[in-house]
Amino acid sequence: MPATTAAAEKLLLQMVDDYTQREISPYDMSMDAAQDFPKGFVDKLTKTGFLGIMLPQEFGGAGFGPEVTATVLNHIARGNASTAVTLEGHFKTIDQILKYGTPALQQALLPTANDRIFAFSMTEASGGSNPMGISSTATREGDHWVINGDKIMITNGGLAQVYCVLVKTAPTELSVFVVDQDMPGFSFGKREDFIGLRGTPVGEIVMDHIVVDNDHLLGKLGDGGVIGDSAHDDARILMGAVLTGIMEHELKISTDYAKERKAGNTPLTELQVTHRKVADIAMRKETTKLLYQRAAQLKAAGQPYSEEAAMAKAHGSRAAVSAGDDALQILAGYGYSREYPVEHLIRDARAMEIAEGTVEKMRSAIAKAEFTK
Amino acid sequence: MKIVVCLKQVPETNDVTIDPVTHNLDRRGLAGVMNPFDKNAIELALNLKDSRDDVQVVLLTMGPDDYAESLREGMAMGADEGVLLSDRAFAGADTLATGYVLAQAVKKIGDADLILFGRQAVDADTGQVGPIVAEFLHQPQITYAANLRLSGANEVTAERLLEDTKQTLVAQLPAVVSVRSELNTPRYPTPRNIQLSFNKPLTTWHHDDLDLDDSRLGQAGSPTIVTKVYAPEPVKRALTPLTGTPNEAASQLITALKQRQLI
């Protein structure tokens, strides 16, 4: 690695840690209760350049690679997972426009990704993990496409201004188009009342006769399944990073508490039951970290990373829930209280056993990849 | 307009040791960060740069090679270039010897209209280097500025925030100003500017690059003698709990405050 690259990464993480400590962590508890980011929170994040971390410099971004981008989300999630997940949803969408967008679309859209949040939407009321079950359509009319449909449970839905949407362009043909909230026919629906990651808005968009030109198609007609899988893969690496951050948070709460607390006259740090739990949290954290970093390294090297990304998410999400459970038990009554963050960390982690493909689907994908070897 | 901001890299931790011979802080092997107060000086310079087209911001520091990291951070905040003064001959300098070398470097940079400092460094807490540089440069100085504006083509007006009073001073440029942290909130370096900062010039000047009187350098040029360094005994404070009902506790609090003549 060139010396300047290493120095830039060090300076970036120093800034991220400083920003997280001063501007993000203080709101971790309140945004869970308020079910939103605080006023001005996203504007400040945007102004400080977080939206452009992985966007190439030619589009006005910082151009950091997959490994650094994932590490940044890992560090942010130590302070608050919702903030990291909002960036994850934005970055995975940018990734698909970089991979599949035409040069004209990239030139038109990507410079705005420094100031506007992007989102990728697949799920509909008829199903999430079964893309062929969707009913949204894009119909060609002359030189244009007309999009109709209703997308739900979109990470950053309602907050994002640009959406990649999976639609049917024929009864058995899936394609992805890019739409903008300013387009006629675009409107927002309801926001989900989820139990975890409550700072991040997850909501619905309604598309009623939105007209776009052919440049708004990602890839070719029929590429929707491939692009959807690609978005999942990119998201799963970043989720592994977020989950690592959650476990680092759980570990810190557990060890800080154990160092202060006694059971009778015995410090918790001297009890084997504490040792077992703390060691398990630490091992889960470290294995998830190795998995997401491995997947990010493969992505940076241009090699296949789908299986490793699935492992990072499938392993990391259950690991973070279990680690949270151990942390809660170490803190006992305090862990079960809303006054301490452990309970909301468990709820935050639990979301990632479902989002971006269920862990059951991950295991099928991993097993199928192994059968082909 | 050229603004030179002098900064210092300080240990990241409070867990520093004392050199048994010199009684100075032993900074060897400690990770460093930019002195937090110096970020207020950089922010002031960048605000002036944002407000007009002709401002060039040069960062200046003296120390080992790794002090370049703080220069780079300041350049990522938005400064145009950095100059590192690094030479074995500068090692062991007290505030006087440091101020001398910085002043000679400011002369070499040339045409500086404003030389800015943070109010003090958090490791040694002297706040002396800014005033010393002003004296070596024979320039007016304003310390502890909590407010500053360019009040004329060649003039700066600053409000000094002192312990129990405020003082407004006007100085002709070029001038040396040290700023208080109340002045502003330093910006974060953006990820993009972090990357771009590595395209900006960072120059290292050694002993022979400057016009220096060797008798003023390093340990030999430092009249300060630290005879003893010790941690003060922690002050033990009595804790009086407020008891009873909320009304009774409030009465006890009011009585205690009156006894201390605080209300």
Residue A119: its pLDDT value, please? 98
Comparing A128 with A362, which gets the higher pLDDT?
A362
The residue out of A114, A140, A165 marking a domain boundary is A114
Residue A130: its pLDDT value, please? 79
The residue out of A96, A114, A132 marking a domain boundary is A114
Would the pLDDT of B37 be above 90?
yes
Would the pLDDT of B235 be above 90?
no
What's the whole-number average pLDDT of chain A?
96
In this complex, is the C-beta atom of A50 within 8 Å of any C-beta atom belonging to chain B?
yes
Would the pLDDT of B16 be above 90?
no
**Which of A4, A7, A62 has its CB closest to that of B191?**
A62
Do A219 and A247 fall within a single domain?
no
Q: Please give the share of chain B, as a percent, with pLDDT higher than 90.
A: 68
Residue B229: its pLDDT value, please? 76
Read off the pLDDT of residues B76-125 as tens digits, 9 standing for 90 and up.
Answer: 999 999 999 999 999 988 999 999 999 999 999 999 999 999 988 888 77
Do A215 and A313 fall within a single domain?
no
What's the whole-number average pLDDT of chain B?
91
CATH number of the structural domain spanning residue A58 = 1.10.540.10
Chosen for mutation from A4, A14, A24, A54 (greatest number of chain B CBs closer than 10 Å) is: A14
In this complex, is the C-beta atom of A203 within 8 Å of any C-beta atom belonging to chain B?
no
Chosen for mutation from B192, B196, B198 (greatest number of chain A CBs closer than 10 Å) is: B192
- Average pLDDT of A49-66? 98
CA distance readout (Å), A113 to A46, A47, A94, A103, A260: 10, 12, 8, 15, 45
Read off the pLDDT of residues B128-138 as tens digits, 9 standing for 90 and up.
Answer: 899 999 999 99
Options A307, A356, A360, A370, the catalytic residue: A356
Q: Do A52 and B192 touch (CB under 8 A)?
A: yes
Do A231 and A366 fall within a single domain?
yes
Do A153 and A97 fall within a single domain?
no
CATH number of the structural domain spanning residue A333 = 1.20.140.10
Do A248 and A165 fall within a single domain?
no
Would the pLDDT of A167 be above 70?
yes
CB-defined contacts A:B, below 8 A = 52
Would the pLDDT of A176 be above 70?
yes
> Which domain range does residue A218 map to?
118-223
Q: CA–CA separation, A8 vs B189, rounded Å? A: 11
Place of tokens 């009890």: A271
Contacts of A60 in chain B (CB under 8 A): 192
Q: How many domains does chain A have?
A: 3
Q: Which residues of A152-179 are buried (b: 16+ CB within 10 A; e: fewer)?
A: bbbbbbbbbbbbbbbbbbeeeebbbbbb
Q: What band does B15 get if pLDDT is binned at 50, 70 and 90? A: low
Q: CA–CA separation, A78 vs A252, rounded Å? A: 9
The residue out of A84, A114, A144 marking a domain boundary is A114
Q: What band does B10 get if pLDDT is binned at 50, 70 and 90? A: confident
Would the pLDDT of A303 be above 80?
yes
Do A209 and A231 fall within a single domain?
no
Residue A126: its pLDDT value, please? 83
**Which of B33, B69, B191 has its CB closest to that of A12?**
B191
Do A255 and A321 fall within a single domain?
yes
Residue A12 falls within a domain, yes or no? yes
A356 belongs to the catalytic site: yes
Do A281 and A174 fall within a single domain?
no
Q: CA–CA separation, A166 vs A224, rounded Å? A: 6
Do A347 and A307 fall within a single domain?
yes
Residue B46: its pLDDT value, please? 97
How close is the nearest chain A Cα to the Cα of B187, in Å?
8
Q: What band does A1 get if pLDDT is binned at 50, 70 and 90? A: low
Evaluated on CA atoms A237, A238, A239, A240, the torsion sign reads positive
Residue B45's H or E segment, with its range, is: helix B36-51
Do A257 and A320 fall within a single domain?
yes
- Average pLDDT of A288-311? 98
Do A336 and A280 fall within a single domain?
yes
Q: CA–CA separation, B176 vs A16, rounded Å? A: 33
In this complex, is the C-beta atom of A125 within 8 Å of any C-beta atom belonging to chain B?
no
- Average pLDDT of B55-79? 96
In this complex, is the C-beta atom of B36 within 8 Å of any C-beta atom belonging to chain A?
no
Do A80 and A144 fall within a single domain?
no
- Pairing mode, if any, of strands A266-267 and A262-263? antiparallel
Residue A176 falls within a domain, yes or no? yes
Residue B27: its pLDDT value, please? 66
Residue A1 falls within a domain, yes or no? no
